[in-house]
């Protein structure tokens, strides 16, 4: 009988104070990629999840009052990505005008919607909201 204990965390997160203040989105992407490859051995999901983290964190910076944190959770058969921002009153929405091929914006949540299993958002308290998405593992 194999009784080894797996001490690999099933949740990991970084609040904004742990991220590079000049390049928080780039660091969030990097930390996500490294964690998926080295800790959870989910390299097959790394590119897609890194892309989603980039889009969601960029939205937090541009439209959500600032990035407050990033959390990844691994549960049986599912990976959940959660991004906190500082604008709970602003509901994220898939942009209706994202069809313009020359537009430089408006595709972020469409992309999240297209590559993830599900996505959504909720307020986490008085001054933050969480935008999340899930992936099958």
Average pLDDT over residues 109-123: 94
Query: Domain for residue 122, yes or no?
Result: yes
Position 7 scores a pLDDT of 56
Element (H, E) at 79: strand 78-85
How far is the C-alpha of 103 from the C-alpha of 122, rounded, in Å? Answer: 28
Query: Domain for residue 6, yes or no?
Result: no
Q: Considering just the CA atoms, what is the radius of gyration of the chain in Å?
A: 15
Residue 97 or residue 106, greater confidence: 106
Neighbour tally for 67: CB within 10 Å: 24
Query: Domain for residue 1, yes or no?
Result: no
Please check whether residue 57 is in contact with residue 83, taking contact to mean a CB–CB distance below 8 angstroms.
yes
Please determine, for residue 101, whether its predicted confidence score (pLDDT) is greater than 80.
Answer: no
Please determine, for residue 5, whether its predicted confidence score (pLDDT) is greater than 60.
Answer: no
Element (H, E) at 52: helix 43-63
Residue 38 or residue 100, greater confidence: 38
Query: Domain for residue 31, yes or no?
Result: yes
**Share of residues in the chain with pLDDT > 70 (%):** 86
Average pLDDT over residues 49-61: 96
How far is the C-alpha of 9 from the C-alpha of 118, rounded, in Å? Answer: 23
Specify the number of domains making up the chain: 1
Please determine, for residue 68, whether its predicted confidence score (pLDDT) is greater than 70.
Answer: yes
Confidence at 108, pLDDT banded by 50, 70, 90: confident
**Share of residues in the chain with pLDDT > 90 (%):** 66
Confidence at 13, pLDDT banded by 50, 70, 90: very high
Which residues constitute the domain of residue 33?
11-95+104-136
Query: Domain for residue 68, yes or no?
Result: yes
Q: What is the CATH number of the domain that holds 115?
A: 3.30.565.10
Please check whether residue 78 is in contact with residue 135, taking contact to mean a CB–CB distance below 8 angstroms.
yes
Neighbour tally for 72: CB within 10 Å: 23
């Amino acid at each position: 009988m194999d009784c080894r204990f797996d001490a690999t965390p099933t949740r990991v997160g970084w609040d904004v104070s742990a991220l590079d203040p000049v390049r928080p989105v780039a660091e969030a992407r990097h930390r996500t990629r490294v964690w998926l490859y080295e800790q959870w051995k989910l390299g097959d999901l790394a590119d897609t999840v890194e892309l989603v983290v980039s889009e969601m964190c960029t939205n937090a910076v541009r439209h959500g009052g600032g990035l407050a944190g990033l959390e990844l959770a691994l549960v049986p058969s599912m990976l959940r990505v959660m991004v906190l921002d500082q604008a709970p009153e602003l509901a994220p929405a898939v942009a209706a005008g994202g069809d313009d091929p020359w537009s430089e914006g408006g595709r972020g949540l469409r992309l999240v919607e297209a590559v993830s299993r599900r996505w959504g958002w909720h307020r986490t308290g008085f001054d933050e909201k969480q935008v999340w998405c899930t992936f099958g593992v």
